[in-house]
Structures are given as structure tokens and as C-alpha cells.
Structure 1
Amino acid sequence: MRRRTFTATASIGAAAAAAAVAAGPLPAWAAGDDKSRQNDTYSWKNVVVNCGGFVPGIIFNETEPNLIFARTDVGGAYRWQEETRTWKSLTDWVPLAKWGYQYVVSMASDPVETNRVYAAVGAYTISWDGNNGAILYSDDKGETWGIAELPFKQGGNMPGRGMGERLAVNPADNAEIYLGAPSGNGLWRSKDYGRTWAEVENFPNPGNFVVNPDNEYLSDNQGIIWIDFDQIGGKIYVGVADPDDPLYVSADGGATWQPVPGAAAALGDADGNRTIPKQSAVDNANGYLYVITSHDPGPYNGGPASGRGGKLMRLSTQTGEWTDVTPPYNPGRPIPGFGGLTVDLQNPGTLMASTCNNWGPDEILFRSTDSGATWSISWDLVSENVRTDRFVMDSTGSPWLSWLGTDNGASYAVKHGWMIEALAIDPHNSDRIMWGTGATVWGTENLTQWDSQGELIGENEAGERVALPIEKFTVGVRAEGIEMTAVRDLAALGGTLVSAKGDVNGFVHTDLGRAEPMFRKDWSGFSLDYAATNRNIVVGTGDVGSETAGHVTYSTDRGQTWQDTTRLAGTPNGSGGIVTITADAGAIVWSPNATITPVYSTDLGKTWNPVQGLPARARVRSDRVDGSVVYAYSGGKFYRSTDAGKTFTDTGATGLPAEGVDDFRVAPGKKGHVWLCGRSDKAAVAKGLWRSKDGGTTWERIASIDLAIGVGFGKAAKRNGYPAIYITATVGGQEGFFRSTDGGSSWYRINDDAHQWGFAGSVITGDPEIYGRVYISARGIVYGDIA
């Protein structure tokens, strides 16, 4: 096998981040900005949602109490802060050029030198990410990081991201770290604390399991899944995505490797379905290695529609004996597959596991205190629609976790979760457990109360199933500080911020430091706008469900209540598109998708009519002064309507980019002032920032701006001044977020290298009432104020 090595190439700190995109002195092109404001220092916070995305890994350090890390699929890495019971982001320094570093595949916390922590990063193993992955290494618990680039990609947002952990520190020699690679790249190892890496060339099996070879996203070989250490016998175990050869062991410190006898038969499906070993956990006191399996790497699917979706097997590391300890019961249906697995290091023989996507009515947590011989469950069915639970789910602080639903029989609005693959008992405190879901982190500090509760279900004298009385404990949200929602649009109304977000719908914040309920149900937010002369009136669209597709939603009270317009006939599910409302709220113009001609309404959506002169999927925006004017862009052409969106004509503008235009926006209080961003990856396509002062007839490209992703406006710096302009751009060769107070003549970078957030800022806007405040789509919504 060809030997491959790679060496650390950079060192980046969350505070200094010197090797990323250096800020340097104020460039010349900024000199025209108001000189009294050139040295503004920004402070940055998140608009609080509390997570809102998938947390596939929670890692407790086995030596130092309260040292806990969490990894997210798209929102970076975090460290727990016990004093505030919040998480601190460790990867806000990630620059745009390396955006995939905020997608964390795996983490490992050193049990010997606890200041050391490692993260395997990279977004996609397929064409969606052009960069290779890397190992981030830190000697100060994640405050600063070094980077060891890898010669292959990693997939923090790929199928299987909840398996693992793919990174592991050898407790017998903590300078040695192992990495399980995807895509057939094998097993890798560092012997110098993560600085340099080489393939373990004698490891015999790089894996072969592919979910679906005909779908690019599902077509990658899952590779090497996890590494675990038997500290009694000094053995190293490696889980491989190969149903016929799923487990290997080394008894000589990784010098040689052999298949574990009987592993394929023990871990395989009796029906002949392909399964893989998703996770492992070692009980070094009793000499057991536990392995959970599934037909699917997750996190979306657990197993086949019928029959068991996986097993939980126990291997005696001393004798080689396999024992099936799969929990025998799941209320109402077969176990679809397992997601998470954890052992209690304080109480040998105690372990827990979770189902993976036991969609209805809820996930199940299984608990055993006798090494898997018997199991108890987190809830049980008394009858089809009645269940009894061991604990109460308290979503206080994250009210949106009800998804605007209500309890319906055995299906509760606030659930254990779904996609549960991060499941971890605190190795220092048997009462504490945390688990990650597709939306949040749950936890409790009263876990052992479970063991004194006894059975959940009994029988009465008539032989009927009845709920037995138990004293329930409380499970609460443990996600404060993690922010990772996908922001698609923002409407800053002044004192109120409305957001449209993928997956978690959208929110109306009147207090940026408080999580709010969603403002829409079954609505993955896409586009927002408000009437410039009456910001109480807001319109929005989303990728809504099939039963509710084809409408715009609107509010006349700054988002406190919402109503749906009449459904637009023929509009399929997923038709969010772009919506705008005229400055005087007289008309709504909506461009739903790539096949439907844009439409307009003059009665708040009671009736819709096709516009004249626009192609499907044209981007539409209203003038912020003249209620009769609406603008549109499509394929390098710019259009204008002077009859509130009924008819559009090509302005005849030339020189605009034919593609790569993610957005254009219209300046408030300035009739006819339009700003357009271009960021095509193609060298032949023009890119940068363009402005028009005559409603899109003529355009000027801002010479200093090399590329522009997003543009927005906020309160002017001076009375009667031009609105503050905020852009996500490359200016004078430097990436960042910039502000102009003089109409775009000069620009000042407002962020620093510690605050870059990877691919951020596709949505950016200022606040209409607070000068200097800017809102940015990043890991959730980040907002900055002048310190």
C-alpha cells in the first residue's frame, strides 16, 4: 500500500488567527470613510435561538471533570462552560476560503494532557466542497488551533456524521492519535500530537459500504468508522464500514492488525441485510467492548421499513466471546436501528443506547445496569394513544422546540428528539447525561433516579395494562450557546428582527438575547420583506409542505400574528422563491420558482395575477421610496416596473454579470438607488458590487470590490447622511464584512480574524434605528455593535 503522509501547515488562534486572513493596517481604499469611525471596534453576539441544528457528537474528557466538547455538522465546535452552563464557540475564526472547517466530523479530548483537543474537519467528500479536510489541534482546550491539512476530503455534513468517533487519542501514548478516514482512504495516525499524519499502511481494510451509488450525496464509501482502546489488554479496536469484515484489532500497538474472530456473524443481520458497526463503547472494568449496528449510517434513516434495524453486541475483550445484548422491546414497533451508545465509567455494567429515527411517537432511550442482560426504557405505551414516561421534557428557554404543535396522544410536541447519535454519560458524574438531536441538546443531572423508579407498566386485577406511579425527574435544554441555524433572509424592522430559516422555519425577536417560538409551523423559511413606509407590514415565503404550498404569509403587526394568502394554483411544494412588497404596501410581487411566472397581488394575496415581462425565477425587490416601482433581475438583465409590479420592462442595462448574482437590494430613503452583488466562480463572469442611482438604467461597478456576496443597509452615521451600507465581500483583496457611511466611496472592515464564521454573510443587513448594528447570517444570526 502506498504510504501517504501530511504535515501541519498553519496555526490559527481564536483570538489572533494570525495565519488566516490577516487584517493588517487599514488599507488605502478605506481612507475616505469617516475618519472618526475608522477605528470602531465591534463586539459580536448571537441572536439567541439555542442550537436549531444537528449535534452529532458530545465528548466528555475522561480525566478532567466538566471538560466537555460538542461538535456540530455545520456550526463548528464548542466547549462547555460549567459556571454558566453554556457552550463557547471555538471555530468562529474559520475564514471563507476554508469554510468547510466549520463542519466537524469528529473530536477527541486528550485524557492524559487535558489541555489538548483535536477536531477532524471538512464539509463534503463529494464535489460540493473543493477543499480537502484537515485536523485541527489545540494545546489550550480550543482557544487556539493549529492546522494539519489532509490530502483527502472529510464529510462533516455527509451521511454517517453521527458515527464514530473517528478521532481517538491513545491513552497509553497520548502523542498518538488515530483517524478513521472516509472514501477508502484508510486508517491514519499521528505520533506527534496531531502535527503530522501518515496512513497506517498495513491496515488491511479501508471499508466498502455505500448507501446508494446512484446518488452523489449517498455514494461515498463510509470508510473507517471508529477507533477504541481496551485498556486491560492494551488492544486497539477499529470499526470498518464493511458488513463482511467489520472489526479489526491490534494487540501490538498498531504494528499488525487482524480481523476480530466472529465479528461478521455477530454484528451481521440474520436476514442477510447489510449492516455496519456505527459506534462502540468500552467498559474497561469488566472487559467488554459494546458495538451498535445499523443498516444505514444515519442520521436520517435507521433501518429497513420492517424488521429490526440493528443490534447491540457485547464482546469480551479477554475471551473473544460475543453476546447479543440487543434490547428486546420497543413500544409499538420493531427497533428501527441504533444511534447512540454510552457506558457509565463510575458504575461498570451500566450502559445506555438510543434508537435512531424512531419517528413515531418518539425516540427511545434504553438503559441497562447489568451489562446488557436486562433493559429498561425511557417511556412505554399503556395503550395505543397513552404513554407513561420516566422524565419530563422541559423546553423552557427554547420554546420553539414544540414546533407550534400540541401533544397528541402518545406523540408529544416536545420530543426526546430524532437523529440521536450523540449520547454521553458524564464519566465523572453518573447523574449527568447529555444527548444531541437534530435540533438541540438535552440533558439532566438526575439520571440515576431512573434506576429507583422500577417498571413503567403493570396490570390491574382485570389484566389490563396500567401506568405505575413513579417520581419523574426533569430533562432540560443544554444547548445554550450553540447556534447553527441556516439563515435565508432577515427583516430588521427596528426593535424587531424577523428571520426566515431553513428547517426551523423562522422567528420574530423583540429581545435578541431570548429564544422565541417559531412564527410559522411546517414552513422552512426562505424570503422576507417589509413595506418601507410602514414596517408593521411584513411578508414572507417558505419551502412549505405539500398541503400548504403555494402561498405567501403576511403580518400587519410586526410579526406578532400571521395570515396566509390565497393559494396560488399549480405551485408545488418547495416553491418559496422571492417575495417583495411595495413601499406603500399597495402590492405584493412574488416569484415562486423556476417554472411559474411571477405574480402580483393588490389585496394582500386574496387574488393573484401573472406579471407581464418577467421570466420565471426572476429576483424581485421594491423601491424603498416610490410605491409604484418594483425591480427585478434575471440572467444579466435588469427590469423595472412603474405600475407596482403589473408590468416590467428591460432597462437596457449592460455590463451586469450573467450569473452568480445571489442578491440585489434597494437603499432605504433613496429613490432609484439599487445595489447588486456578483460572485460567480467563473473567471469570465464579472463579479463585484454594482450600484445604480437611476432605477437600474445605468450602473457603476465599485472598483475596489473584487467580489460581493451580500449587501444591506442600516441607520446612517449622520443626520441626512446616506444609509450605512454593509457588505460581505472581498475588498482590496481582503475578505470580510465591510461598512460604508459615504454611499460606497470608501469601505471599512468591521470584523477581525477571530470573527469570520466560514461561509457567512450571504444575508447581511443593518438596523434601521441603531447606527453601526449589523446582522449577518453565520452560525445562526450573528449581530455586531460598535463597542
Structure 2
Amino acid sequence: MNQTIMSDHYKWNNLRIGGGGYATGLIIHPKEEDLIYVRTDVGGLYRLHKDEERWIQLMDSFGLSQRNFYGIDSVALDAQNSDVIYVAAGKYSKEEVMQYFETDIDENPCDVLRSRDRGITWERTNLNKDFRGNLVVRWNGECIAVDPSNSDYVVCGTRSDGLYIMEQATRNDNWRQLTGVPDGIKGYGIRSVIFDPNSVVNGRCQRFFVGICGEGVYETLDGGETFKVIPNTPLMPNRMSMNSEGALFISAGYCGAKTTDVTRGVYRYDLGITKNITPDPVYEEYTGISVDPTNPNRVVCSVRFNGFWNPIFITLNGGDSWELVTNQSIANADVPWFPSCYFSAATSSVLINPHNPSQVYFTDWYAIWRTDDISQKPRHWKSYTQGYESMVSFTMICPPIGASIITGIADNDGMRHTNLQESPLKKHGGPEMQETTGIDYCESNPNFMARVGSWEWGKTGGGGYSSDNGVSWKAFKNWPFGANGKLAMNPVNENNFVVLPIQDTPKVTFDAGVTWQESVGAPKGSVEKFWSNNHCIASDRVENNVYYIYHRGEVYRSTDGGINWIKVSELPLETFSNMKAMPNNKGHVWVNLNHYGLYTSCDFGDTFTKLNNVNQAYLFAFGKGLTEDIPAVYVYGRVDGVEGIFRSDDKGTTWIRINDDANRVGNDPNCMEGDRQVYGRVYIGTNGRGYYYGEKEN
């Protein structure tokens, strides 16, 4: 190892928030009690640690180039070997990956992955077909299945490329396409596969079903060599479940792809007859469907719409009649910040525990929920979010006093964190925005801070300020600029801050948001879009009225509080960048430019010097140093040819690697800050795994 890079013993954890991201499916091993997995759209795969009632993340060994694998489109378990798991991994298709990520991505960003040790390690099977774990019908499933009688046979449906079978799965990875079924609607594809365990001939199941979006349900009786469409099955099947007598139950419907009325509802296929058994009233879409393995007539199903308290139904007679469950339910969240409406929200799956049929799980936008007695009235449901951290971060600050970290989050606004292992009591509020996209504090008075954000993913904007270190917030008196992006605050004058709205020029206030002024000379569009990870504006952390902007290879500076701007220097053009000023150092401003490295200035941005030992600076941050005038510097990237997360205590002359290959923090990291109160602690926000923090073990 290069002498520049030493090592330091660090421990890595998630900042405890609890839930907050879409759990799109849950699966329980049929033979081993309490072996339960939950998949997410952008947050990887979890396994339940039953004794601690805590979820364990299984994808943290994937690095930046493999970040697309954190979108799990489907999960399959091997009934004959409880150690084996398969996942259809890919947030987005290959084409979409190139559009969204632009750089630092694997050549084949989607694949079926296999683990032989319950998710501790993974290997590719090289199917290399598109999956879309964060896009339409991600709540359907499961599109991959292992023959319950023979571990050698694995069947997988794809989003656009048809159906495949692996016929020697325990020995090698030989995928073969099964040509007897259509591909389905492009991008939706084949979303569910289920075997009939009662159809074993010559050591393998001969009968299985395939749910194809836009085409209905297909059946094979010869192990996949030939198929036939089942008459009168719904054209948009979502999920399937089979009872012990061989009857197939189907949930169906998607309001974004309506064709005819037959595309929605709940159906039973038995003895060659398809029957509509939809509960009344009929909703646009039914997703979850689960049959009690001990009672062929006991079935639970769920409705899905983009809202809260989605209905869940139960039948005891095979669907001839249904009882609404959710109207007699009590929701008990295990985190204090959950509003009362956060229950059965866009419900994706429902599952009767095969080892304890009184117990029922469901997954939704925010959590995993369970009732221990579905027959009890009222039903008591509890969320289980311990270890389940799936927030999408936008930003954060680490003030030198008060809260350790204050977060800005997609879909859930953001929170103030005083204990890293306890969930906050509430979201920001005042105003409570859907997301906080920009936040800063006044260096000379860190109790004063301001934030901006939006509702409906950037359609309308808003913001507010706090004078008590983020405990409470007040909305700006005026905010006329629509959806907005990033914010920087004067280090001396707490009433002066600058906002960079999306696709606009900087807006300036000198009275904490009562009035606003247009800027002059600054570029337009430094924040290009809502889902932008570029933090391209910074205030000097010492000098009054000085602000900086990095814009497409050019550095701009204002010395009058953000009104007038001039171009002062040029740097390489990079689409992914962050600009930050160094605490306690007047005129020191740094910019990370991904593969171009890390650039530093000590003359207010007039000139910059590249740190030659930093080959890649994907993210960087300042934190509390060993002395007041030399802060710790953190880099996520590559130093002297070594990939990792690093700390420097001498302004970048030497670096210490502070992570290992088991803690790569690879899920599209998008923001980074050093703790200003605790030396050696650093935070990294991600696109679906919440916020990580690393700190020295000693």
C-alpha cells in the first residue's frame, strides 16, 4: 500500500431514522421459521434477525460501480437449501442507468445475483437482462422462482426480454430462454412466476405459472417447453399465490396501464375455470395476495393506490365473500416521527406466515408491518423498522453546537438528530415540506439556520428558518420563486442567505426571507434538475458577504452578500461536483470534481491547486480537526489508486483509509459532511440506504 495511505480502525453504522422507503416485497422460507427477507426499490435487501427483531442489510459490500444492484426487483428462496437466495437486481434498465448515473457504473448494471450464505456474499449468474426495481410495477412479484422440489431449476422473468430458465443452478450458470411466452409490455414484462409443488415428475415440477403484464397468466405442464394462456385471466396480473389443492389466486390491475375492466381485481383459477372473486367495492389495483398453507380457503389480499390506509381483505371461503380488515385496525408505529396516516400506504405485498398462519405481514411505502392475530378485532399492527433504513437523502448539515446532524430527505422532509441511535421525535415542519433539498447555518451563530425544499418532487417550492438550532421552524414570509434547490448562508449576518433555485439564477435575502432580490452576473441553471446531487454554492465560513458558485467549469464569487457576481477562475468541466468553504479559514474554498479530483483555493477562488494524490473525489467534507485551524478532511473516492473513504488531518497531504470492503457505502452516495463536534466522525447520505456514519473505534 502507498505510504500516503495508512489505515484507521473505524466502525460504521446507520443513523437511526427508521423506515421511510418503499418495501416492495416480503418472502418467508417455507421450511425454516423466522427466515424472512424484505426487498426494497432503492435500498437493497434485508434479512430479519429474529432474536433482536432487527433487519440486517445484505448489500453493503457493493461499491459505487455496483450501485444499481441496490434496487431489488424480485427475490427467490431455495426450499431445499435455506442458505441460498436469488435476487433480480437493478434499480433501472441499462439504458436508464446510462441516463441517470452517467459515470462510475458497471458495464452490466442488472443481473440475477445468488448468495449461498444467506446474503453475506454474492455472485453474479450473468443473465444480464434489464430489471427496474425503482420503476413501474415494482410492487409486483415475484418474477424469479426456484423449483421447490429441485434446486437445479430456476425460472426468471425479465422486464423486456422474456422468460429464462437455469437448469443446473447448483453447478453452473447456464440460462436458456423459454420461447413459449410473450415478453409483455416493454419495461413491465414478466412480473410473477410460481411453481405448483404438487406437479413433480422425474424429480422436478412440471407445472408453473407466469404472470405477464398486458398478456395475462400463462401455464406450462411440461417444465416450460410449451405454454398456454389461461382464458379469462386478468391482462395485468400483479402477484400470484397457490393453495394446497392447486388452485391459483391472482391479484391484478394497474391504473397506469388500463385496457379493459378485466385487468383489475382478484381471481381464482381452479380445475380449468377462472373466476372473478374481487372484493366489493372494486378498486383499480390489487397487489398483495397470500393463501394460508394450512387452509386452502383462507386468503388475504390488499389494494394498492398512491395514498394511505389502503384496504386489506380476508376471506375464509376461497373468495366467495370477503371481510375488510383495515377498518378494524390499530396501527402502532415503532418510531415516533411516523404520522398516523403512515399505515398501509401504497401497499405492495401481504403475506400469511406459513409457520404461524395467525400472523400476517404487509409491506408499504414506509415500513414492514405485522399483526400477530389477523382474526382479532380490532387488529393490532406494529411496524418493524429497527435496522431498516431506506431513506433517500438530499443534504445535511453538522453544526458546531447543538444537534450532531440535521438532515434533508426526499419524501420525508428531514429531521434533527441529537442521538445517532434513536429515531427523532418529528420531522422538521414549519413548513413541513415533502423534501428539504438545501440547508445551511450561520457560522457565527449556528443556532440560526435556513432550509429550502419542495412539494411533489419540485413542482412547488418553499422554505423557512430556525433560530433554535432546528428545534422549530418558521416559514419564510415570502417565497416567490417556485421549486428550489440549494442554499448557502452568510457566516456573519444570519439574515443574509442565497438560494439557487432549479434552472434559475441566485435569489438573495437580507432579512431572513421577508424580501428577496435578483442577483446580477451569476450563471443560470447551476442546479439543473430536482434530482440533482450537485451542491454547487457555498459561503465563505469566515468572511462576511462572500459566496462562491461552481458552474460548468467556471468559478463565480460575490463579495456583497450574493447580489453581484463575477467569474474569477476556471476548473475542469464536471457534471457531478460539490463546493465547500473550509471552517475557520478565511478565503479557503474547495471543489471536488469526481474523476478530475479535488481542487483547493486559499485566495477566495482566484486560483486553485489540484491535490495530486486524490485520483477521484466523488464526495468530500470538512469536520472537526485535531486543532481548530486545521479541520479534518474526508474524501469518498480514490487516493493513490486505492478506492475507499479517507480522512486527512493535514489538509490533504496524507490520507488514512477509514472504511473496509464490507462497508463500501455504495448505494449512490450523494452528500457527505464531517461532524463539527466529534473528531473523526463522518456522515454519508445515500439514495435509499439512509445516512451512514463512521467513527473511530477508540
- Verify same fold: TM over 0.5: yes
Report if aligned partners of 2:441, 2:449 keep a CA contact under 8 Å in 1: yes
CA distance in 2 between counterparts of 1:712 and 1:510 reads 20
Residue 479 of structure 1 aligns with which residue?
385
Residue 323 of structure 1 aligns with which residue?
275
The one-letter code sitting in structure 1 at the alignment partner of 2:250 is V
Distance 1:249 1:600, change over 3 A: same
Residue 756 of structure 1 aligns with which residue?
664
Q: Pick which of 766-775 and 718-727 moved more.
A: 718-727
**Pairwise CA distance, 1:195:** 4.2
CA distance in 2 between counterparts of 1:690 and 1:400 reads 40
Residue 401 of structure 1 aligns with which residue?
338
Residue 314 of structure 1 aligns with which residue?
268
CA distance in 2 between counterparts of 1:162 and 1:236 reads 25
Q: Deviations over 1:336-358 (max 9, x none)?
A: 21011111113331111111106
1:258 pairs with 201, 207, 227, which one?
A: 227
Report if aligned partners of 1:579, 1:589 keep a CA contact under 8 Å in 2: yes
Report if aligned partners of 1:598, 1:617 keep a CA contact under 8 Å in 2: no
The one-letter code sitting in structure 2 at the alignment partner of 1:237 is F
**Within the alignment, does 1:99 sit opposite 2:61 as a pair?**
no
Residue 555 of structure 2 aligns with which residue?
638
1:782 pairs with 649, 671, 692, which one?
A: 692
**Within the alignment, does 1:115 sit opposite 2:25 as a pair?**
no
Q: Deviations over 1:122-174 (max 9, x none)?
A: 12125221433122212221122222233322222121222110111101112
Q: Deviations over 1:615-648 (max 9, x none)?
A: 2234321111112211122222212222222222
**Pairwise CA distance, 1:776:** 0.6
Report if aligned partners of 1:662, 1:678 keep a CA contact under 8 Å in 2: yes
Matches within 5 A, 1:253-332: 253-254=223-224, 256-260=225-229, 263-264=230-231, 266-268=232-234, 275-284=235-244, 286-296=245-255, 310-316=264-270, 319-327=271-279, 329-330=280-281
Residue 459 of structure 1 aligns with which residue?
none
Residue 530 of structure 2 aligns with which residue?
none
Q: Deviations over 1:517-546 (max 9, x none)?
A: 211323311011111111111111112359
**Pairwise CA distance, 1:728:** 1.4
CA distance in 1 between counterparts of 2:116 and 2:213 reads 35
Q: Deviations over 1:186-209 (max 9, x none)?
A: 3232422384031234x3123232
Q: Pick which of 550-559 and 228-237 moved more.
A: 228-237
- Structure 1 residue runs without a partner (length 5+): 1-25, 31-37, 211-219, 269-274, 380-388, 403-412, 450-470, 681-686
Report if aligned partners of 1:715, 1:768 keep a CA contact under 8 Å in 2: yes
Report if aligned partners of 1:579, 1:588 keep a CA contact under 8 Å in 2: no
Distance 1:588 1:346, change over 3 A: farther
Distance 1:190 1:667, change over 3 A: farther
Q: RMSD across aligned C-alpha pairs, in angstroms?
A: 2.2
Distance 1:624 1:194, change over 3 A: farther
**Within the alignment, does 1:367 sit opposite 2:304 as a pair?**
no
2:353 pairs with 402, 412, 426, which one?
A: 426
The one-letter code sitting in structure 2 at the alignment partner of 1:343 is V
Matches within 5 A, 1:550-629: 550-569=461-480, 571-572=481-482, 575-618=483-526, 619-629=536-546
SS in 2 for 1:723: strand
1:82 pairs with 32, 39, 50, which one?
A: 50
**Within the alignment, does 1:537 sit opposite 2:454 as a pair?**
no
Distance 1:731 1:194, change over 3 A: farther
**Within the alignment, does 1:232 sit opposite 2:201 as a pair?**
no
The one-letter code sitting in structure 2 at the alignment partner of 1:711 is F
1:343 pairs with 266, 284, 291, which one?
A: 291
Q: Pick which of 602-611 and 488-497 moved more.
A: 488-497
Report if aligned partners of 1:288, 1:314 keep a CA contact under 8 Å in 2: yes
Q: Deviations over 1:538-568 (max 9, x none)?
A: 1111123599944431111011100111333
SS in 2 for 1:643: coil
The one-letter code sitting in structure 2 at the alignment partner of 1:367 is I
Q: Pick which of 180-189 and 622-631 moved more.
A: 180-189
Report if aligned partners of 2:454, 2:460 keep a CA contact under 8 Å in 1: yes
The one-letter code sitting in structure 1 at the alignment partner of 2:646 is F
Distance 1:118 1:640, change over 3 A: same
**Pairwise CA distance, 1:400:** 2.7
CA distance in 2 between counterparts of 1:783 and 1:367 reads 43
SS in 1 for 2:194: strand
SS in 1 for 2:95: coil
CA distance in 2 between counterparts of 1:474 and 1:132 reads 41
**Within the alignment, does 1:498 sit opposite 2:474 as a pair?**
no
CA distance in 2 between counterparts of 1:624 and 1:190 reads 62
**Within the alignment, does 1:488 sit opposite 2:394 as a pair?**
yes
Distance 1:204 1:356, change over 3 A: same
Residue 456 of structure 1 aligns with which residue?
none
Distance 1:663 1:170, change over 3 A: same
2:325 pairs with 363, 378, 388, which one?
A: 378
The one-letter code sitting in structure 2 at the alignment partner of 1:257 is T
**Pairwise CA distance, 1:322:** 1.9
Distance 1:595 1:776, change over 3 A: closer
Report if aligned partners of 1:434, 1:444 keep a CA contact under 8 Å in 2: yes
Report if aligned partners of 2:393, 2:685 keep a CA contact under 8 Å in 1: yes
Q: Deviations over 1:246-266 (max 9, x none)?
A: 222222333x22214xx24x2
Q: Pick which of 547-556 and 222-231 moved more.
A: 547-556
**Pairwise CA distance, 1:292:** 1.4
Distance 1:206 1:42, change over 3 A: farther
Residue 197 of structure 1 aligns with which residue?
174
- Structure 2 residue runs without a partner (length 5+): 99-107, 201-205, 527-535
Matches within 5 A, 1:147-166: 147-166=124-143
SS in 2 for 1:98: helix
Residue 29 of structure 1 aligns with which residue?
4
The one-letter code sitting in structure 1 at the alignment partner of 2:511 is D
**Within the alignment, does 1:510 sit opposite 2:418 as a pair?**
yes
Report if aligned partners of 1:302, 1:337 keep a CA contact under 8 Å in 2: no
**Pairwise CA distance, 1:785:** 1.0
Matches within 5 A, 1:520-535: 520=429, 521-535=432-446
User: What TM-score, normalized to structure 2?
Assistant: 0.91
**Pairwise CA distance, 1:781:** 0.4
Paired residues, number? 667
Residue 223 of structure 1 aligns with which residue?
189
Report if aligned partners of 1:225, 1:238 keep a CA contact under 8 Å in 2: no
Report if aligned partners of 2:396, 2:406 keep a CA contact under 8 Å in 1: yes
Distance 1:46 1:590, change over 3 A: same
1:677 pairs with 587, 592, 597, which one?
A: 592
Report if aligned partners of 1:527, 1:542 keep a CA contact under 8 Å in 2: yes
Residue 367 of structure 2 aligns with which residue?
440
CA distance in 2 between counterparts of 1:547 and 1:127 reads 24
CA distance in 2 between counterparts of 1:785 and 1:543 reads 32
Q: Deviations over 1:758-780 (max 9, x none)?
A: 24432111111111101011310
**Pairwise CA distance, 1:510:** 1.1
Report if aligned partners of 1:675, 1:711 keep a CA contact under 8 Å in 2: no
The one-letter code sitting in structure 2 at the alignment partner of 1:748 is I
Q: Pick which of 726-735 and 750-759 moved more.
A: 726-735
Matches within 5 A, 1:707-718: 707-716=616-625, 718=626
**Pairwise CA distance, 1:727:** 1.4
**Within the alignment, does 1:241 sit opposite 2:188 as a pair?**
no
Report if aligned partners of 1:553, 1:562 keep a CA contact under 8 Å in 2: yes
CA distance in 2 between counterparts of 1:184 and 1:57 reads 22
The one-letter code sitting in structure 1 at the alignment partner of 2:228 is P
Report if aligned partners of 2:433, 2:462 keep a CA contact under 8 Å in 1: no
**Within the alignment, does 1:770 sit opposite 2:681 as a pair?**
no
Residue 300 of structure 2 aligns with which residue?
352
CA distance in 2 between counterparts of 1:479 and 1:640 reads 45
The one-letter code sitting in structure 2 at the alignment partner of 1:312 is V
Q: Deviations over 1:665-707 (max 9, x none)?
A: 1111111111101127xxxxxx211000111001001112222
1:747 pairs with 648, 652, 655, which one?
A: 655
CA distance in 1 between counterparts of 2:43 and 2:309 reads 26
